[in-house]
Amino acid sequence: MPDDGQTINPFETAKRQVDIVAELLKLDNGTREILKHPKRELTVNFPVRMDDGQYRVFTGYRVQYNMARGPTKGGIRYHPQVSLDEVRALAAWMTWKCAVVNLPYGGAKGGIICDPKHMSKGELERLTRRYASEIAPIIGPEMDIPAPDVYTDSQTMAWIMDTFSMMRGYSVPGVVTGKPISLGGSEGRGEATGRGCAYVIREAAPHAGVKVHGGTVAVQGYGNAGMVAACILHDEQQAKIIAVSDSKGGIHNSDGLNPHAVEEHKKKTGSVVGFPGAKSISNEEVLETKADILIPAALENQITKRNADKIQARIVAEAANGPTLPEADKTLYEKGTTVLPDILANAGGVTVSYFEWAQDIQGYFWDLEDVNRRLEKVMTQSYAQVHKTAESYKVHNRTAAYVLAIQRVVDAIKMRGIYP
Ligand code: NAD
């Protein structure tokens, strides 16, 4: 089971990553300090009327980490374990993720400490609207643009958009992304993360000595990101999906699974487990499957020092955020595994969020083909730039992605200068 890593303060990890890259880029101390501090943090404590008529006070955060490259962008998470340090770390990672794919954005993140699984829809709506009004002074299309994250979705974004618009007196669709299409959402946003991940795998495969056509794929976490990546690799790149899992367990078939049929089975039964013709395997076995490509697409801290040496895949494409712990990373590199780091491999989602915002602002909407063509271009170019950076600095892809991203943020900071 994932273990060693749960107790690590994520913001300490985020700062350590900056230090490593700062050494490589030979950054001065002042610049390092800027990169290790969130620019703006807002904590809000606010009451919500619960269904039983009582009021409860909730705590929420919004952290805008760095806005040198443009307005900040990042999701809002509802979870009992949300903490300010977690939100800071996630906001830092959003800064680097936006920069690695060269979006004109800084990074932000928000969260509310709550247990959404035990709240009614009405309670969630009141919680969301009150939080939106509390953070309204610091969000907006030109300032900070939230999006969905853990346990928030397009309905949550619709409530935020409506609340913000009510306060302004006119509709402001560009204040959030991940909205329903009917409110200015973008075609292709739903599948953008998995699609972007499939494009990055396609680009990296020749460098890793892997053939995607006819190659084998294992996916941990058959949800939005993992399922879409599997379907696109199967349909468009003729890969063979041999193992997948969800929170209830895994399945394996060395002749290949039809990813669409597995999706139907999961829709009907609630899990991939029990899919006809497949052997049941554990979640750990999915990670350790003999496959050319492994896509961790579930949770953080899945590849640890305990299982890293058992990973057989030649490519590990991180659709999930933070699935690999640093000490496991080292083992993978020593084995010659090509790791496609999360800030690159799952950046398709934020890229199409950027397209959504751009469409909202210009009031002109693109068709799916247009969205996917532009996404493909961004992901292909970004992989090429990360690969080139890895070669010129003689580092692995993860460090290269951070070097590229942090260099871009530093360039913006330097060109703007320090005010006043
Ligand atoms: P999701 O809820 O749609 O899917 C997650 C899947 O993981 C579910 O099928 C769930 O059953 C499964 N799962 C949970 N625990 C598991 C376990 N222990 N072992 C195996 N499977 C398990 O979520 P998603 O949107 O696909 O997000 C998955 C990951 O991708 C997260 O790390 C998320 O931060 C990251 N991500 C998603 C997006 C996006 O646009 N959806 C963008 C960037 C990053």
| DSSP codes, 194-212 | HHHHHHHHHHHHHHHT--S
The first and second tokens of residue 330, run together, are 């080292």
Q: For residue range 280-315, what is the model confidence (pLDDT) as tens digits?
A: 999 999 999 999 999 999 988 899 999 999 999 999
Mutate-to-test residue for ligand 1 from 247, 248, 324, 353, highest number of ligand atoms within 8 A of CB: 247
Nearest ligand 1 atom to alpha carbon 248? 11
| CATH code for the domain in which residue 263 is found | 3.40.50.720
If one counts the domains in the chain, the total is 2
Nearest ligand 1 atom to alpha carbon 223? 4
Grade residue 7 by pLDDT with cuts at 50, 70 and 90. low
Please give the Cα distance from 399 to 397 (Å, whole number): 6
| DSSP codes, 24-58 | HHT--HHHHHHHTS-SEEEEEEEEEE-TTS-EEEE
Q: For residue range 28-43, what is the model confidence (pLDDT) as tens digits?
A: 999 999 999 999 999 9
| Amino acid making up residue 154 | S
CA of 298 to the centre of ligand 1 (A): 4
**Ligand 1 — pocket residues by CB below 6 A?**
193, 220-226, 245-247, 283, 297-299, 319-321, 346, 349
Please give the Cα distance from 175 to 353 (Å, whole number): 11
Same domain, 47 and 125: yes
The first and second tokens of residue 329, run together, are 């990373």
Nearest ligand 1 atom to alpha carbon 299? 32
Please give the Cα distance from 284 to 288 (Å, whole number): 6
CA of 246 to the centre of ligand 1 (A): 9
The first and second tokens of residue 223, run together, are 């949800």
Same domain, 272 and 325: yes
Q: For residue range 71-96, what is the model confidence (pLDDT) as tens digits?
A: 999 999 999 999 999 999 999 999 99
Same domain, 238 and 338: yes
> Would 415 be classed as within a structural domain?
no
CA of 392 to the centre of ligand 1 (A): 33
Strands (E), 247-324: 249-257, 279-281, 293-296, 315-317
Same domain, 178 and 200: no
Nearest ligand 1 atom to alpha carbon 193? 40
Provide the annotated active-site residues.
Answer: 109
Same domain, 130 and 199: no
CA of 222 to the centre of ligand 1 (A): 7
Please give the Cα distance from 200 to 20 (Å, whole number): 25
Its pTM stands at 0.96
> Would 120 be classed as within a structural domain?
yes
Q: For residue range 329-378, what is the model confidence (pLDDT) as tens digits?
A: 999 999 999 999 999 999 999 999 999 999 999 999 999 999 999 999 99
Same domain, 76 and 175: yes
**Residue 306: domain span:** 192-345
| Ligand 1, atom 29, residue with closest C-alpha | 320
> Would 301 be classed as within a structural domain?
yes
pLDDT at 3: 44
Grade residue 6 by pLDDT with cuts at 50, 70 and 90. low
Whole-angstrom distance between the N-terminal and C-terminal Cα of the chain?
51
